[in-house]
Amino acid sequence: MSILVTGGRGAVARSLTTLLAGRGLPYRLASREPDTPEAVRCDLADPTTFAGALTGIRAVFLYAEAAGIEAFVEEAGAAGVEHVVLLSSSAVITEDAAVNPLAAAHLAVEEVLSASSLHTTLLRPGAFAGNARGWSSSLAAGRPVRLPYPGAHSAPIHEADIAETALALLTDPGRGGGAHTLTGPQSLTFATQLAILGSVLGRTLPYEKVTPEQWKAEVAPYLPGSMADALLGYWAAAEGLPTATTDTVERFTGHPARSFETWAEENAADFRKP
């Protein structure tokens, strides 16, 4: 069974293909902008790229892109795809998911897949541990991280745990179906994540509390206002409120979810001063 892995430049997809290669399982890496010789072009917003990517494929690890999902489902059915594992988001289970730009695209893809004849498994991770890389340039330069809600909680999940969960489902479709929320093992505030990372690096990592308006102005050059507002809304709601954790990773992989400290140890070089 050949597996198509979309989103080929993402951390989860890269980790998944490493796992597949390690098991000697056939796969095809796909990306909107392939950057390795073995990758094929598959722009999930461009249906003209679907047929070539799906030829001979029986299972798909799919990133959520709403623009072309109806065409993708049609092409996948015609190609004989038997199982789709979607990388969705736990944002879809919030009350405002239908109108929240961070959740709406994932929800739209979920709805189309669930209404189709394709056997579908929905993976809904919360915050990625790798989101902490957004602090790397400030920390490497010795500047404090500017946070509008330092006490906002999340249960950051290691990308490798998402990949291993996807692997378990792609290689044993009988375990698939339904929707599964994935989290790391602990609910941590942003301030606590910085303290853990600092402990790994052997130095105190400073942060500065800023207003939501200040933060939004700072990220405006690369983050649309609607997306910034959605993030601020999530963080405001999570301020001082621990996030519930799940045992999904352990149920599918056989081991507990990796800690944020483990992620920090593996990625410490990204935060060291040049």
Write down the pLDDT at residue 150: 98
Pairing outcome for strands 40-41 and 27-31: parallel
Q: Is 142 exposed, middle or buried (0-12, 13-18, 19+ CB in 10 A)?
A: exposed
Residue with tokens 């593996």: 266
121 and 135 share a domain? no
Three-state secondary structure readout of 106-168: HHHHHHHHHHCCCEEEEEEECCEHHHHHHHHHHHHCCCCEEECCCCEEECCECHHHHHHHHHH
136 and 239 share a domain? yes
101 and 143 share a domain? no
Spatial distance between the Cα atoms of 214 and 225, rounded to a whole number of angstroms: 12
- The CATH number of the domain where 273 resides is what? 3.40.50.720
Write down the pLDDT at residue 184: 98
Domain that holds residue 102: 1-125
Is residue 166 in a domain? no
144 and 268 share a domain? yes
99 and 146 share a domain? no
Write down the pLDDT at residue 274: 67
Is residue 62 in a domain? yes
Which amino acid is it at 262?
T
Spatial distance between the Cα atoms of 16 and 22, rounded to a whole number of angstroms: 10
111 and 197 share a domain? no
Kindly compute the dihedral angle of the four CA atoms of residues 32, 36, 38, 40, in this order, to the nearest 10 degrees.
10
Q: Is 232 exposed, middle or buried (0-12, 13-18, 19+ CB in 10 A)?
A: middle
Is residue 172 in a domain? no
Tens-binned pLDDT, residue by residue, of the chain (274 aa)? 699 999 998 999 999 999 999 999 999 999 998 877 788 999 999 999 999 999 999 999 999 999 999 999 999 999 999 999 999 999 999 878 888 888 999 999 999 999 999 999 999 999 999 999 999 999 988 899 999 999 999 999 999 999 999 999 999 999 999 999 999 999 999 999 999 999 999 999 999 999 999 999 999 999 999 999 999 999 999 999 999 999 999 999 999 999 999 999 999 999 987 6
Write down the pLDDT at residue 141: 87
19 and 144 share a domain? no
Q: How many domains does the chain have?
A: 2
137 and 243 share a domain? yes
Is residue 170 in a domain? no
